[in-house]
Structure formats: C-alpha cells, structure tokens
Copies of this chain bind each other. A is one copy, B any other.
C-alpha cells in the first residue's frame, strides 16, 4: 500500500486532492490544522462539494486552495476576495470560501477585504494569522506585533498591528470570530456556523509559523507555541472587538459579532424583481 492509498482511508481524504499530499507546510505549521478544520466543517455540513468553491491568494496558507478537492482558485497575491466576489455574484448558487494569510488579506489585499465586508457579499473568509509573511521567508506584516523580529524588522517592529476583528467589524462583517489553531473543535464549529450564515463572515485563526516567525522570535518549537496558546487564550463571546486584544500575555478568542444585515445578493434580488415587474408591465 502506498502512502497515498493509506491516506485515502482518512475519513476527510475525500475532500482533498490526495495525490498532492503530503502538503508543503513545515512541521507544526498551523495551516495544516486550519485546512483540517475546514474540511471537517465541510464534512459535518455535508456540503454539495460540486457547488463549493475555495479561493485563496499567495502565501503558505494560500496553497490550501490546491489541496481541497473542489473547484478552487489560487489567485494573484492579495486578490482572492475580489475574485471570489466575481464568482459569487456571477453564480449565486455557489458557496464561496476564501482561505488566505494575514499578508494576503490585510496588507496587499486590505482594500478588497473592507469593501467586500461593507457590501456584505456572501463570502466566508478565513485568515491564517501567523503574524508574518511565511512564504517569502518571514517579513513583517500588518499583524506583526510591536517589537517583534522579522527579516524586515531586524531591530524590532515599530508598526502598530491591526486588530483584525475590530477592522472586520468596522467594515461591516456580519460574523466575526477569532480562534487559535489549538481550538480545533470550536474553530470547526465556527466555520460551520459561518458557512451556514448569509453575508460576509470573517474568522481569524491565530496560527503558529514555528519555522520562521517562531524561530526568529525565540518562541520555541511548534509545540511550545501551542502550549502558549493554551496558557494565554481567553474565550469571550460577544466581546467588543475593539477590546479583543492579542498581546504576549493574552489572546482573546471567541465569537465577537453575529448580526443580521441584508446581503448584497438579497438586496439585488429585491431590486431585480422590482425591475423585472416594471419591465413586464411596461
């Protein structure tokens, strides 16, 4: 039995392009867990995989699109949300999820994020936040904590990071949550909830990049980072996202926003019916 044949016995392998495994991610990289929770959510929901699309950008986590066994698009860096918007609006029958990194979604892609959230396009966006650009070898990014070391902050970072959940809420997301990759069950549940809900949903996942960010900031091995998560995470559902901090001492996780607001698609549908009526009358 080849290792791939062995893998095909994994209950989630049917959602994955088995022939492309093992994946490229490093030992203890959180991206594998995110992918795992994601396909687990698909499995639990028994989604119609033929009508499901995964879009991602460029970055380590960006490779996820190439692992999920459904229609998928690995876009240019920063553009997954804009492209996903096109997919969703052109064919509303498709369920579209975006999996990408903190750099892809919030550095180069920040504008598309806030605008899709504002429009309340029906997308589920999952961000692997590893506090740096893993793929290009560990530069700082918009979530890198102050004073952290990266290859472009060799003396410590002087840029204040975004609070992604606050930004997402301010831009208009109807569902905003944060987990660490240690919270596998809650994360999977959160993804399920997001996939079932209509509108622009955002889940931030704090994810270790032991190989690069962890090493440079002396966080120990992957397992040490996971233990740190265990130690400093605090679940606070419904917390004001403005106050949901990520510091060396505390990571506030939970569901922060869960509201109802008409989606772009719904408002359009209403308008469409009105116009079609008018046209058929006149």
Residue numbers of A with Cβ under 8 A of B are 107-111, 114-115, 118-120, 142, 146, 155-156, 158-163, 166-167, 169-172, 242, 261, 264, 267-268, 271, 274-275
Q: Complex formed: what's the CA distance from A15 to B158 in Å?
A: 36
Please state if B171 and A119 are interface contacts (CB–CB under 8 Å): no
Knowing A114-B162, A271-B158, the reply to whether A170 touches B172 (Cβ < 8 A) is no
Q: Which 6 A-B pairs give the minimum distances between C-beta atoms?
A: A170-B170, A158-B267, A111-B111, A110-B111, A166-B170, A167-B170
Nearest B-chain residue to A162, judged by Cβ:
B118
Can you give 18 contacting A-B residue pairs, CB < 8 Å?
A107-B115, A108-B111, A109-B111, A110-B110, A110-B114, A115-B142, A120-B160, A155-B271, A156-B271, A158-B267, A160-B172, A160-B261, A162-B171, A162-B172, A166-B170, A167-B170, A167-B171, A169-B170
Knowing A110-B115, A111-B110, A115-B142, the reply to whether A264 touches B159 (Cβ < 8 A) is yes
Q: A170: which B residues are within 8 A, CB to CB?
A: 163, 166-167, 169-171, 242
Knowing A114-B167, A162-B171, the reply to whether A155 touches B274 (Cβ < 8 A) is yes
Please state if A159 and B242 are interface contacts (CB–CB under 8 Å): no
Nearest B-chain residue to A120, judged by Cβ:
B160
Please state if A118 and B161 are interface contacts (CB–CB under 8 Å): yes
Nearest B-chain residue to A146, judged by Cβ:
B267
Q: Complex formed: what's the CA distance from A10 to B154 in Å?
A: 53
In whole Å, how far is A275's beta carbon from the nearest beta carbon of chain B? 6
Q: A146: which B residues are within 8 A, CB to CB?
A: 267
Q: A261: which B residues are within 8 A, CB to CB?
A: 160
Q: A120: which B residues are within 8 A, CB to CB?
A: 160
Q: Complex formed: what's the CA distance from A120 to B118 in Å?
A: 23
Q: Complex formed: what's the CA distance from A182 to B148 in Å?
A: 46
Q: A159: which B residues are within 8 A, CB to CB?
A: 118-119, 264
Q: Complex formed: what's the CA distance from A131 to B26 in Å?
A: 48
Please state if B160 and A119 are interface contacts (CB–CB under 8 Å): yes
In whole Å, how far is A127's beta carbon from the nearest beta carbon of chain B? 15
Q: Complex formed: what's the CA distance from A162 to B276 in Å?
A: 29
